[in-house]
Structure 1
Amino acid sequence: MRRLILGGTAGAAALLGLAVWAGGEKDMPPLAFMGESVDGAVLERGREVYAENCASCHGAEREGQPDWRRRLENGRMPAPPHDETGHSWHHADGQLFTITKFGVGAVVPGYESDMPAFEGILGDDEIAAVLAYIKSTWPERERAFQAEVTGNVEGGS
């Protein structure tokens, strides 16, 4: 199986990433993103990139903005949570990647969002690492559901 690897990470960062990943249920299958297994170094990098680029809107603990289901005055929706209370886990890996890279309008034509497209800001490996990190924080039920959706939509992961 191929591995999603980011260069330049130290052993300590890899161990911290594994601790984040291993913090969930012990019987959970290995974490994968778009069919590639994910290691602790990737998760640590994802945590860092999330903190630098996503937490200001989606929350340091992935809790989203207050009242995230109610439209703002500009007609747009607040940033949803990326924990189990949100809906990120309802979407396949490829959809999450496309939304992050190209914006929500890439999967819902005409949809206007305050979330920027990260193309040209984050590289594909950084986007994948952030999404893998987010997935690593979901409880077993949500991860299993999302893995099934990913498998059904993308032919396996």
Structure 2
Amino acid sequence: MTRNRIALLLAAAAVIIVGGIVFFSQPSVPYIDPSDQQAVARGKDIYTAQCAVCHGAKLEGQPEWRKRLPNGRLPAPPHDESGHTWHHPDAVLVDIVKHGLVPGRTAPDGYQSDMPAYAQTLSDADISAVLAYIKSTWPAEVRAQQKEMTLNQSRR
């Protein structure tokens, strides 16, 4: 091999190594911590004002939430452990609250939902507080599974 080729290979290897170090040292998407009592209290107030009308004062969702309405849409699901909220990582939950259910991104193609987008209504801190409150109501094993899913996705 010529010197130029060796130098080029060494430079490429250095770029890959440095790039990997920079990439893996970047902070991951923060986990929304349901043990933050201030966030939970604030989130409960916001949830009551913004979310409870559809998702229930006790996070129970609307009746028969798995059965389609006459318009073909589904009622609001529960956010307690009986629902599917905890099956999603934090980044997806934040996206759904901010932008609503978006077909092809956070919902199946063609899906229609009554879930409004809150990007213009709630700040990122408000959304995190609401999710901290919701998560604080889940049993420990459910919180642990959702946390693991969130941390695994943020490592990708």
Question: One fold, TM greater than 0.5?
Answer: yes
Aligned structure 1 segments of 4 or more residues deviating by more than 4 angstroms: none
Number of aligned residue pairs: give it.
124
What is the Cα deviation at residue 110 of structure 1? 3.6
Structure ranking higher in helix proportion: 2
Separation in 2, partners of 1:154, 1:126: 21
Separation in 1, partners of 2:110, 2:121: 22
Unaligned runs of 5+ residues in structure 1 are 1-32
Aligned residue in 1 for 2:101: 104
For normalisation by structure 2, the TM-score amounts to 0.74
For normalisation by structure 1, the TM-score amounts to 0.74
| Secondary structure of residue in 2 paired with 1:104 | coil
Aligned residue in 2 for 1:147: 147
Separation in 2, partners of 1:59, 1:36: 22
Identity of aligned residues (%): 52
Aligned residue in 1 for 2:77: 80
Structure ranking higher in strand proportion: 1
Match of 2:68 among 71, 77, 81: 71
| Secondary structure of residue in 1 paired with 2:71 | coil
What is the Cα deviation at residue 36 of structure 1? 5.6
What is the Cα deviation at residue 155 of structure 1? 2.1
